[in-house]
Chain A
């Protein structure tokens, strides 16, 4: 199944994001994102079908993200 990565930033915030998503029933896992010209970042990987809801849940949870890949 297709997945997308919501780029969060720090490891701590990515874990926080994953736990917020999981508590809302959205399957997610923390991943390390190496494809950044600024160095490593962390994000959460979700199924593509869940992306829109995940972004909303993160927004409501006060978690900012820098992009989606």
Chain B
């Protein structure tokens, strides 16, 4: 099997991640923050370790600023719905995933929030100019992805963060595709809130996400979006504003959280620079092969991310993905939950996406090109 669908979820998981999850389930599988016995305490300590690991990855010193959710989508819902007020204006880009677009749509429909969608298919200098021009006196927030899930575009989040802070705006970064690949530093990048999943570049298992808040974030500005039991102050109806528990209702996905600690350690051992360089090499090798086959690549020269979308003449993207699946090559076709990006890249709404991880090899890329060539010959 060749697995080129890492933008959906990373595969395979490392031995260290598998061992960490198994060890936790067997030896410390209590419910953290609910009881005082050994298993609950062990689980709570493991969750705290994960908060420190995630915070350490983003230059956040307060573990309480790392809030766990069920995934990056839930983290973005917390970040966006938890901070936007009635009548605000928010700026995003035309590359955003539906995990950003749909909460913004909700805010437009239900809180009269205005949204500006800035075209990010341009050089960085122009992008910064476009974002700056979009700012109005009602603007409260800028939310952008870091790395696109459909093309190699990687946005200049440090520069966007500088614009946001110069204008007193909150900056939310959707780092679903960049965490574990490109460095994210909340202080250097001016990111107030960074949202990541457990199961993509971090290399953990599915089931958790993080909304990470920069040191000094004023949690009085954040309303929770999930209400329920959290193990403290039970008699009160209000969830409060004390992180993280006020924003973590319900049982935490502890196995997935534990997997993040192991995954982050793996990434630390490899080094982010090496991971990004490897994925960049694979992407360039793939593009060379696709160009030889006459494939239509979308956004090829846009950046250094490890994701490429393409189509071939005479066969639709979904059909091509099915043919590749029949020879045990895993890719994703369709719109990839990024409708505006597909519009902007003019894909016709159905393209094949190849997304790499550090576990993929150059030989796999060559094998992919060979298999694709055979499929296209039969067309």
Measured CB to CB, the residues of A under 8 A from B are: 9-13, 15-16, 19, 30-32, 34, 37-42
Q: Given known contacts A10-B245, A16-B64, A30-B44, is B234 in contact with A38 (CB within 8 Å)? A: yes
Checking A13, A15, A19, A32 against B35 with a beta-carbon cut-off of 8 angstroms, the contacting residue is A32
The interface centre, meaning the residue of B41, B235, B242 with most chain A CB atoms within 10 A of its CB, is B41
Q: B64: nearest residue on chain A (CB-CB)? A: A12
Q: What are 9 A-B pairs at a CB distance below 8 A?
A: A9-B242, A10-B242, A12-B244, A30-B44, A37-B235, A38-B234, A39-B235, A40-B234, A42-B33
B63 touches A39 (CB 8 A): no
A39 touches B232 (CB 8 A): yes
Check if B334 is an interface residue, CB within 8 A of chain A: no
Measured CB to CB, the residues of B under 8 A from A are: 32-33, 35-36, 41, 44-45, 48, 51, 63-64, 231-236, 242, 244-245
A40 touches B235 (CB 8 A): no
B63 touches A11 (CB 8 A): no
Which secondary structure dominates where chain A touches chain B? mixed
Q: Given known contacts A11-B33, A11-B245, is B236 in contact with A30 (CB within 8 Å)? A: no
B48 touches A32 (CB 8 A): no
Q: How far is the CA of A24 from the CA of B64 in the complex (A)?
A: 21
Given the complex, which residues of A lie within 8 Å of B32, measured CB to CB? 11
Q: How far is the CA of A38 from the CA of B240 in the complex (A)?
A: 13
Q: How far is the CA of A37 from the CA of B244 in the complex (A)?
A: 22
Checking B35, B63, B235, B236 against A12 with a beta-carbon cut-off of 8 angstroms, the contacting residue is B63
Q: How far is the CA of A16 from the CA of B242 in the complex (A)?
A: 14
Q: How far is the CA of A16 from the CA of B61 in the complex (A)?
A: 12
B236 touches A15 (CB 8 A): no
A39 touches B234 (CB 8 A): yes
Q: How far is the CA of A11 from the CA of B245 in the complex (A)?
A: 8
Checking B44, B232, B233 against A15 with a beta-carbon cut-off of 8 angstroms, the contacting residue is B44
Given the complex, which residues of B lie within 8 Å of A31, measured CB to CB? 36
A11 touches B232 (CB 8 A): yes
Q: Given known contacts A30-B44, A32-B36, is B64 in contact with A13 (CB within 8 Å)? A: yes
Number of A-B contacts (CB under 8 A): 52
Q: A16: nearest residue on chain B (CB-CB)? A: B63
Q: B242: nearest residue on chain A (CB-CB)? A: A10
B234 touches A12 (CB 8 A): no
Given the complex, which residues of B lie within 8 Å of A37, measured CB to CB? 235
Measured CB to CB, the closest approach of chain A to B216, in angstroms, equals 13
A12 touches B45 (CB 8 A): no
Q: How far is the CA of A12 from the CA of B231 in the complex (A)?
A: 11
B231 touches A40 (CB 8 A): yes
Q: How far is the CA of A42 from the CA of B48 in the complex (A)?
A: 14
Measured CB to CB, the closest approach of chain B to A66, in angstroms, equals 11
Given the complex, which residues of B lie within 8 Å of A30, measured CB to CB? 41, 44
Q: How far is the CA of A38 from the CA of B232 in the complex (A)?
A: 8
Given the complex, which residues of B lie within 8 Å of A34, measured CB to CB? 36
B233 touches A12 (CB 8 A): no
Measured CB to CB, the closest approach of chain A to B68, in angstroms, equals 11
Given the complex, which residues of B lie within 8 Å of A11, measured CB to CB? 32-33, 44, 231-232, 245
Q: How far is the CA of A42 from the CA of B34 in the complex (A)?
A: 10
Measured CB to CB, the closest approach of chain A to B303, in angstroms, equals 37
Q: B45: nearest residue on chain A (CB-CB)? A: A15
B232 touches A9 (CB 8 A): yes
B36 touches A12 (CB 8 A): no
B41 touches A12 (CB 8 A): no
B245 touches A39 (CB 8 A): no
Given the complex, which residues of A lie within 8 Å of B244, measured CB to CB? 10, 12
Q: How far is the CA of A40 from the CA of B233 in the complex (A)?
A: 6
Q: A41: nearest residue on chain B (CB-CB)? A: B232
Measured CB to CB, the closest approach of chain B to A34, in angstroms, equals 8
Other 13 A-B pairs with CB < 8 A, given A9-B242, A38-B234, A40-B231: A11-B32, A11-B231, A11-B245, A12-B33, A12-B245, A13-B64, A15-B45, A16-B63, A30-B44, A32-B36, A37-B235, A38-B233, A39-B232
Measured CB to CB, the closest approach of chain A to B235, in angstroms, equals 5
Q: How far is the CA of A38 from the CA of B242 in the complex (A)?
A: 16
